[in-house]
Amino acid sequence: MGDYLSIDEVALSQGELYTFITNKKGKGKKGTLIASVKGTKSSDIIKVLEKIPLEQRNKVKEITLDMAKNMELAVKISFPKAYLVTDRFHVVKLAMESLQHIRIKQRWKELDKENKAIEQAKKQGIKYKPIVLSNGDTPKQLLARSRYIIAKKPNNLTENQKIRIDLLFKLYPELEKAYKHTLEFRSIYESTDQLKALERFNLWIEDTFEQKIETFYTTANTVKANFENILNFFINRNTNANAESFNAKIKLFRANLRGVSDTTFFLFRLHKLFA
């Protein structure tokens, strides 16, 4: 079965979710799929996993997963000797979503401002002329086109992107503050020591509340609530990437078949290919 496992859910047909437990050593080939469970309920996952002898389950050292509490409960009961690792991608995604929330909020403000200006121009019987910035964007376009730019690190930006991000931060300093705060959070995962990472996470959380960056309060509180599993990442630095890759393979398989009409037969085929 392997010492290092992953657990994740995937939609097979019409949004119907299945939980897949996979072996990292399988590398998406034969010997990868350990179990497939209909639904995501803890009780259903436990019921299926308990069919595997306890002696085998006790050999499992580590399991990577997302922040779903139902999966955490199922894994804790089914693999009592394994420690859990919250996937790095899902933790960073929380901070990124907080940052994007500020950008979206500013964009809605610009849309409202533009609508009011258009209405005012109509009343005065003149043609509305939008504000055009030095790079040719209007403020609402600048915010819309910055979606992927603010997800990048500064050293990965192209020259055009650097011009756009400089304009963005000049107009919206709140966004620059949030961007730097997000970069600080992402840099914690470059730590190689668990204790150093714990110290940096605590400092980042303190800084969030001291600076009153309210959009990041949920991220800070979620990290605090999941500290143990998040810090376990720094033991072997394993992620849930192999599970996501396996899910992508299943989705491609499903697409090539033009969808899944017989789920039982589809699972049988997955079993023959990957179990």
Q: Give the domain ranges of the chain.
A: 4-85+239-274, 89-235
What does the DSSP 8-state code read for residue 191?
Answer: -
Q: Return the residue matching tokens 């350990």.
A: 34
What's the confidence (pLDDT) of residue 15?
75
Average pLDDT on 177-197 reads 94
Q: What is the pLDDT of residue 28?
A: 85
In terms of Cβ atoms closer than 10 Å to its own Cβ (0-12, 13-18, 19+), residue 103 is buried
Q: Is it the case that residue 16 has pLDDT exceeding 90?
A: no
Place of tokens 């998040």: 230
Please say whether the beta carbons of 35 and 23 come within 8 A: no
DSSP, collapsed to helix, strand or coil, labels residue 21 as strand
What pTM value is reported for the model? 0.86
- What mean pLDDT value characterizes the chain? 92
CB proximity list for 236: less than 8 A, separation 6 or greater = 4, 62, 85
pLDDT at residue 224, rounded to an integer: 92
* pLDDT at 210 (0 to 100): 94
| pLDDT of res. 174 | 94
- pLDDT number for residue 264: 87
Contacts 24+ apart (CB under 8 A), 23-31: 24/238, 24/242, 26/2, 26/274, 27/242, 28/242, 28/245, 28/246, 28/249, 28/274, 29/274, 30/273, 30/274, 30/275, 31/274, 31/275
pLDDT value for 263: 84
CATH architecture, range 4-85+239-274: 2-Layer Sandwich (3.30)
pLDDT category at 200 given cuts 50, 70, 90 is very high
pLDDT tier for residue 110 given thresholds of 50, 70 and 90? very high
Whole-Å CA distances, 10 to 36, 54, 111, 250: 10, 26, 36, 9
Which residues are within 8 A (CB) of 96 and not within 5 positions of it... i.e. 6 or more apart? Answer: 151, 182
Q: How many CB atoms lie within 10 A of CB 221?
A: 13
Q: What is the mean pLDDT of residues 54-63?
A: 94
Mean pLDDT of 129-152: 92
Average pLDDT of the segment spanning 135-143:
91
Check the CA dihedral 94-95-101-103 and report its sign. Answer: negative
Q: Average pLDDT for residues 233-258, to the nearest whole number?
A: 87
For residue 157, give every residue at least 6 positions away whose Cβ sits within 8 Å of its Cβ, in sequence order, or none. Answer: 149, 165
Residue 262: band (very low, low, confident or very high) from pLDDT cuts 50, 70, 90:
confident
pLDDT at 46 over 90: yes
CA distance 52 to 72: 18
Judge whether 33 and 270 are in contact, CB under 8 Å. yes
Binned at pLDDT 50, 70 and 90, residue 256 comes out as confident
Asked if the model's pLDDT at residue 2 lies above 90, the reply is no
Sign of the C-alpha dihedral, residues 108, 114, 117, 122? negative
Quote the pLDDT of residue 247: 87
Using CA atoms, how far residue 23 sits from 16, 69, 182, 240, in Å, is 23, 21, 32, 11
pLDDT at 87 over 80: yes
CA 253 from centre of chain: 23
Which residues contact residue 27 at a Cβ distance below 8 angstroms, ignoring those fewer than 6 apart? 242
